[in-house]
Amino acid sequence: MKKLFTLVIFLTTLSFQNVSAVAPPRVNIDGMWYTNGQTAYIECNKASVNVYIDLILYGSDYLNIRVTTTPNLTVSNTASDIMKTLHLDPDSQNGYIDVGYENNSGDIRVYIQQKPPTPTITVGSNICAGNSASITATSNYSFQSSQPINLVWQTTGGVTVNGSSSYIQTGISSTVTVANISNGTYSVKAVVSNCDNLESTAMNVRLGPPVITNPNYWLFDPGSNMWQFSQTSAGPGVTYSFYVSSGSAILNPQNQDCYISTTGGATVCVSGTNSCGTGTPYCFYIPPAGGFLKTVYPNPATDVLSFEFRGDGSSNTVSYELILFSEKSMKAVKRMSSDEILASESFKASQKLEMNVGYLPRGVYYIHIVPDSRSNLAVQKKRIILE
């Protein structure tokens, strides 16, 4: 009896041993050793490579390899317990593999890349309109002898490379003259012609005054209607200035970002200045605490509902959706996006939306103004009677 009881306790204890994660220190992919987080560049004409780990001994035990991959790669077994065959992406797209020991949870991840590496350029400084400079691009590419690459330059706007909108040079290094005539961009990428023109990610450079990129703004503190604005900084040497172009707001700029507090709504603009001058301002409208819908009338209504919205109608703003719900069915009977509202004839003519509701069954309806969820702005609701 006592022995049985002891056995049960003993077995219970055994079943709650800790799970420990053991990961291989390194993995060999196609003949080269890699550690966690590194990228393995594989020649683009290869369809599969071998992946193996060191033989790690625990007394007379050793640990088998386990490989999981991104869905575009697959793995098959080999005769050796510590090696798998990795079948690469048919379109030579990038992926990664996680390598661990079979029935152990630890992993190391190595990125698999058959595309050539993105070229780097020597000169980072801006070229202002009317000027030109000599620029060298280099690709850190290992298979030039067997699968040679071309470096392909391309431009947009008023920029030329060696006097043209594109230029191609064979080899892992290329020096060109980039001329900025009236601002724009140039890019350089590596292309392997032997492998269906497999391309690297392009290195893009903008010339001239800064352009506001990836602007984003959201309600930061609903109590004081304080918003936060952010953007992708164009890099060092750029200063940003924020100003209120209409309405009133308190601005608290933080380099390329800004905190904006407004009670009555305001249009705020931001522009960047670098050694080439000041770029085109980006203007956006911040609504007052109530939201975008100012008023809707008449209530009760018969044939036409008139909506008045806040905003200057021209600046960028948070997108929203107007939804009309029937109380009876609790279904949306009408939906309109803010883009559709701004584009409507009645809005262009009189800054308000006139919605025909004469055809709807009589009863109680709810209007919801649903802002883009990233804005953190609350849904605005209004009750309307049709009679």
Partner 1 sequence: MKYTILLIGILSLAAFFGRTMNVYGQSDIRIGITGGSNASRIKTSTNLTDLLWSYNVGLAFEKGLSDDLSLASELVYSKQGSSIDNVSSGEYITHFDYLALPVFVRYSPGGKNVFFQAGGKFGYLVNDKEIYTYNNTESNLDHLRQWDAGVLGGIGYRIGKHVVVDARYYYGLTPLIKKHTVLDPVTLKPIFYGADRWYNRVWSLNLTVYL
Chain positions contacting partner 1, by CB under 8 A: 1, 4-5, 7-8, 11-12, 14-15, 17-22, 28, 50, 52, 55, 57-64, 66, 68-71, 74-83, 98, 100-105, 107, 109
Whole-angstrom Cα distance, residue 353 to residue 339? Answer: 12
Q: Considering beta carbons, is residue 14 or 349 the nearer one to partner 1? A: 14
Q: Considering beta carbons, is residue 2 or 331 the nearer one to partner 1? A: 2
Shortest Å, Cβ 113 to partner 1 = 17
Q: Considering beta carbons, is residue 52 or 240 the nearer one to partner 1? A: 52
Q: Considering beta carbons, is residue 19 or 330 the nearer one to partner 1? A: 19
Q: Considering beta carbons, is residue 105 or 295 the nearer one to partner 1? A: 105
Q: What are phi and psi of 41, to 5 degrees?
A: -90, 125
Shortest Å, Cβ 1 to partner 1 = 6
User: Strand, helix or coil at 284?
Assistant: strand
Shortest Å, Cβ 114 to partner 1 = 19
Contact between 285 and 371 (Cβ < 8 Å):
no
Q: Considering beta carbons, is residue 64 or 169 the nearer one to partner 1? A: 64
Place of tokens 């809005």: 347
Strand partners, 243: 269
Contact between 143 and 162 (Cβ < 8 Å):
no
Q: Considering beta carbons, is residue 109 or 368 the nearer one to partner 1? A: 109
Shortest Å, Cβ 40 to partner 1 = 16
Contact between 345 and 356 (Cβ < 8 Å):
no
Shortest Å, Cβ 44 to partner 1 = 23
Burial (CB < 10 A; 0-12, 13-18, 19+), residue 382, is middle
Shortest Å, Cβ 46 to partner 1 = 17
Verify cis geometry, omega within 30 degrees of 0, for the bond prior to 287.
no
Verify cis geometry, omega within 30 degrees of 0, for the bond prior to 209.
no
Shortest Å, Cβ 53 to partner 1 = 8
Place of tokens 């290869």: 46
Strand partners, 237: none
Q: Considering beta carbons, is residue 9 or 385 the nearer one to partner 1? A: 9
Tokens for 382? 């209004």
CA-CA-CA-CA torsion for 272, 273, 278, 283, nearest 10 degrees?
Answer: 20
Query: Across the beta sheet with 257-261, what order do the strands follow?
Result: 213-221, 226-232, 257-261, 250-254
Contact between 285 and 316 (Cβ < 8 Å):
yes
Shortest Å, Cβ 6 to partner 1 = 10
